[in-house]
Structure 1
Amino acid sequence: MQRYFVSVNDVQMNTVTIQGDDRHHMANVMRFQPGDQVVICQPDETSHIGVIDQIHPEEIKITLLEELDEQKELPITVTVAQGMPKGDKLELIAQKGTELGMHSLLPVQMDRSIVKWDGKKEAKKRARLEKIVKEASEQSHRTIIPHILPMTSLKELDLHQYDYCLVANEIEAKQTDHSSTFREVLGKINKNDQILIVIGPEGGFSEKELAFLDHEHVYSIRLGKRILRTETAPLYVLAALSFYFEEWS
């Protein structure tokens, strides 16, 4: 069943008003008719079956029916702090990260990041990423839309607001005698914990950045014995977290 996310202002009592792009999608792409049912997701993470009552040129009216009992979100809150990659890789991370349960995406300007965003470009890029995660949330039947956070630098990260900070370090992957495995760190994490995953850009972390992270007592983890691309690493971690906390546990 097709899913749509609405804001607080879209809901009055048990009536939802759909406008803009979603109205266009419902009327012109899906070609819904009065009587058809959809799933409506609200900001409080509740979702309801809704029946379409009226289709107007500017808006669609939907009546909410029963609330759904859905358990779609990871039992931990995961933020991906992604070193700014080239091209459209951040869009791929946003889309696939949403499918895998990411809660927030935090673009981070790092020493070896080639891409630079100014204020105007950042606003445009964030709007594009927000559109991507909204569509991915609908497709993957999430009950929330991941947050796209303002770009920051590594040193501006408030690492202490998280219960665990995991750094994907390619140096660890090259060590055959590596003892602090990702699995051991997973065993320490509890449900409802706040997790930060820090991923370097294409060129990896600089020595200065690794020294800063080491000083902050983060968990430097190995993601297998191979070197992963910057867009692959966060998806590896999210997939592992999903398997461990939603399937294995």
Structure 2
Amino acid sequence: MQRYFVDNKKDNHFFISGEDRHHIVNVMRLKEGDQIICAASGKSAVCLIAEITDEQVKAEVVKWEEATAELPVRVAIASGLPKGDKLEWIIQKGTELGASVFIPFAASRSIVKWDDKKASKKVERWNKIAKEAAEQSHRQISPEVISPISLKSLIEMSKDYDYKLIAFEEDAKVGESSILHSTLNRIEAGQSILFVFGPEGGLTEGEVTRLKESGFLSCGLGPRILRTETAPLYALSAVSYKLELMR
């Protein structure tokens, strides 16, 4: 059953317009009487298409879903701006694995330079990728992708998180794994964790020092050195395994 994130809800009805209306009518070719799933404010419901007009689709709630596909903790992924479409890959696959927010930041070794003139379209595309991945993976929320920020702003933002970890390849080289393991043992449902990953060249010693001085802990992600687009997926998988499959 097709899932849509809907902002417009009144009483027992959802009102779907724009690209989602087009998808329902012209791509899926659904009719009045067909069922879809509408998600809003962290909840989702099976709905009956009650009316289709040129402007919108009106869907009536049949039953609210009790099960959730969300991780028991809020996970933020902060990525040093990588080359090409790697960030899009991180957003798509990270959404499927349960991330709550994506925070791109300008790292010292980021080759890509952020163009403010193209900012709005780029961030809009990233959020669309997250929304489509969230619908595909049957999530109740669509993760937010924010506009790239500085390391200073990232440190300021980190104050809102219960746990803060840096994935640092130098720790992986010496076989450090206890920090990630102990953090996932301590974190409780409803809490939050922020992971920071460097770009292709990794984080500099200076960046790691600044983050540590702001309460971050440095950890390795197993004995192998992971690419910038692989490391966030490893971390999210570890969170899911420990907090969902092992409990």
Contact 2:72/2:243 (8 A) holds in 1: yes
Match of 1:220 in 2: 218
Q: Distance in 1 between matches of 2:153 and 2:4?
A: 35
Letter of the 1:194 counterpart = S
When structure 1 is superposed on structure 2, of 158-167 and 100-109 the one drifting more is 158-167
**Where in structure 2 are the equivalents of 1:23-38 lying within 5 Å?**
23-38=21-36
Letter of the 1:135 counterpart = E
Contact 2:127/2:145 (8 A) holds in 1: yes
**Where in structure 2 are the equivalents of 1:48-67 lying within 5 Å?**
48-67=45-64
Unaligned runs of 5+ in 2: none
Match of 2:244 in 1: 246
Establish whether residue 203 from structure 1 lines up as the match of residue 201 from structure 2. Answer: yes
Establish whether residue 87 from structure 1 lines up as the match of residue 118 from structure 2. Answer: no
Q: Distance in 2 between matches of 1:188 and 1:53?
A: 47
Aligned length: 245
Matched residue SS, 1:66:
strand
**Where in structure 2 are the equivalents of 1:1-249 lying within 5 Å?**
1-7=1-7, 10-42=8-40, 44-157=41-154, 158=156, 159-176=158-175, 178=176, 180-249=178-247
Cα pair distance change 1:179/1:68, threshold 3 Å: closer
Letter of the 2:13 counterpart = T
Contact 2:68/2:139 (8 A) holds in 1: no
Q: Distance in 1 between matches of 2:241 and 2:13?
A: 37
Q: Distance in 2 between matches of 1:39 and 1:110?
A: 39
Matched residue SS, 1:228:
coil
Letter of the 2:241 counterpart = F
Calculate the TM-score normalised by the size of structure 2. Answer: 0.95
Matched residue SS, 2:77:
strand
Q: Distance in 2 between matches of 1:12 and 1:213?
A: 44
Calculate the TM-score normalised by the size of structure 1. Answer: 0.94
Question: 1:38-74: per-residue Cα shift (whole Å, max 9, x none)?
Answer: 11111x2121111012222222121112211122111
Unaligned runs of 5+ in 1: none
Letter of the 1:169 counterpart = F
Contact 2:76/2:193 (8 A) holds in 1: yes
- Write out the 4+ residue segments of structure 1 that deviate beyond 4 Å after TM superposition: none
Q: CA deviation at 1:18?
A: 1.4
Matched residue SS, 1:237:
helix
Question: 1:58-113: per-residue Cα shift (whole Å, max 9, x none)?
Answer: 22121112211122111101111110000000100000010000000000101000
Q: Distance in 2 between matches of 1:12 and 1:179?
A: 49
Matched residue SS, 2:82:
coil
Superposed CA RMSD in Å reads 1.3
Q: CA deviation at 1:186?
A: 1.4
Letter of the 1:165 counterpart = K
Matched residue SS, 2:243:
helix
Letter of the 2:245 counterpart = E
Q: CA deviation at 1:134?
A: 0.6
